[in-house]
Structure 1
């Protein structure tokens, strides 16, 4: 095995070395690396064999300077640990990878100020496009995004005035429809459990309030929230708080995500509350566990993978100067009606 000192002293493999090894010009090697769609399959394989044999790693920074294209797309999401974004990112990565783009991903921690900082970092890398979450950017962030002159897609929610393009769904309308579903199943005293309370969660709560106000059933005492991040444990604690503060008069609970709903369900079972006969529980996001707990959990389902695919495709189409059907796309949602809300 080579010593570290000897390995570091060896000459770095260059584009010219690859050209000599594959019997083509350096320009051809560059084209194979940066514009593979413009060369024949046989030539691409010929050059790739030389690249693999020599262990050549292309200098992407130099390539982007030469072509004025970075082949990088920046993506900003509020949490890398939140399972909700996993499917969105899978859709983005699949489309971008298939089109020869790399994804530069940052975590904004549900903070507009952190998002401003992270998007500045992304823009410093000369991305060809950006996919960002929601519309809660600071004024400074909105300003430099507007001036970036690159395609930008805001995802996860529908915005009245997007910076450029928008792919999402109406959280408020979804919250409204959850209440209508519960009322339709014969439930009357509907509580609300929320955590973190980011703008999308607040929209769901507003939809909940509007539906109940229109029916003369709204009671602010049936709302329990916390600024803490969501978890199953937090859901259980919030459910206990709701039952204690209302003397257990609620007969249904709308939870802003499935983690909270699962916590509420498990706590209800510990309290010997029959779900769904005595209490309905509805979640949001329709994570995999929702369909497999007992009783199965009603939840609002959103095509998160499809949302990621759509956002990425819009970026690619703009970069390729192809038309897009609409700059604002409503992905919709579906209430997956399961046992936890099926009293009737």
Structure 2
């Protein structure tokens, strides 16, 4: 049952010359301190739900609208977290963003998102813009940034956690980050294909962002170790990843290198497009050629045949990175500077 409202002892009119209703007005009307009003309106878990409801009702009645600029000026930092991701058209980043945002909102923080489109200069400009708003923290995708962006992150002294990538094991701790090693995942899928008896394994990639190139390196390393590496079996296209491009790449590979017995696609949408092209072309998967993908995107388990892929923990990465950032924003040290959430090879009927 909801707690009854305290009597409203003030009207909506503020003593400010501007007539704007202030946080102090809401606090006096609700019979609590301004800091309690601030915490209640942010929805912090430590505040009693009945008190949150009471303060929200008072603020609505008075017509109070929070002023984020004034809040940031008073505290030298806002209650928002800036998040930079490469794309919104890729379910990978949507899942990551959703998990991070839920975790941050539960702690009373808002998120301000920027989309970099895999462009280093655009990432730099977005970061400059975000830092003008004095964010409480930063979540940034990847570890590959231009020198100016790195300098901006370091000099801002804003707590920052990197998403998706981890430094190589021999590079030391590096920055705060949550993810997995893309190179290891690429090598693991290649070894899986080798274990099924395939020896002429092509690698097909689009977008060619740093994480894709790390998967390529893992593929190369595994084949070199096994003695089956052929540079001619690399098919790299800088265009955005899509089902349509996957079909094009599959047709290109089968036309130029018909003896391949497996194709490792850098992303599931490419592999899904390849499976559709194989059906059109009458090519049997996996008896003629095995097909594998990466990320276990929606629909991969429903393909014909179901797609073998690397399952990546993107929602868990978003949540864990947000939790690490919350720790840093409390001026506390995380248990570890790096959190490796690993990956999983999902063997289905396409290999």
TM-score computed with the length of structure 2 as normaliser: 0.88
Shift of 1:202: 0.6
Q: 1:26 to 1:298 in 2, by over 3 A?
A: closer
Distance 1:221 1:26 in 2: 67
Q: 1:215 to 1:39 in 2, by over 3 A?
A: closer
Matched, 1:210 2:210: no
Shift of 1:35: 8.6
Aligned with 2:322: secondary structure? helix
Deviates more, 1:215-224 or 1:104-113: 215-224
Q: 1:38 to 1:262 in 2, by over 3 A?
A: closer
Distance 1:157 1:26 in 2: 41
Aligned with 1:340: secondary structure? coil
Mapping for residues 93-172 of structure 1, pairs under 5 Å: 93-159=101-167, 160=171, 164-172=175-183
Aligned with 1:104: secondary structure? strand
Give per-residue Cα distances to partners, 1:227-253, cap 9 Å, x unaligned. 10000000100111111111x111110
Distance 1:36 1:269 in 2: 53
Distance 1:35 1:258 in 2: 38
Distance 2:298 2:98 in 1: 16
Q: 1:73 to 1:162 in 2, by over 3 A?
A: farther
Extract structure 1 runs of 4+ deviating beyond 6 A.
Answer: none
Give per-residue Cα distances to partners, 1:158-200, cap 9 Å, x unaligned. 1246763011211111111111111111112111110011111
Aligned twin of 1:226:
237
Distance 1:139 1:94 in 2: 31
Give per-residue Cα distances to partners, 1:88-120, cap 9 Å, x unaligned. 111101110000001110000101111111111
Aligned with 1:321: secondary structure? coil
Structure 2, gaps ≥5 residues long: 1-17
Mapping for residues 1-344 of structure 1, pairs under 5 Å: 12-19=20-27, 21-23=29-31, 29-30=37-38, 32-33=40-41, 41-159=49-167, 160=171, 164-246=175-257, 248-341=258-351
Aligned with 1:227: secondary structure? coil
Shift of 1:24: 5.1
Distance 2:43 2:278 in 1: 58
The answer to whether the 8 A contact 2:42-2:109 is kept is no
Q: 1:71 to 1:192 in 2, by over 3 A?
A: same
Distance 1:214 1:35 in 2: 54
Shift of 1:322: 3.5
Distance 1:24 1:80 in 2: 41
Count of residue correspondences: 331
The answer to whether the 8 A contact 1:191-1:250 is kept is yes
Distance 1:230 1:307 in 2: 22
TM-score computed with the length of structure 1 as normaliser: 0.90
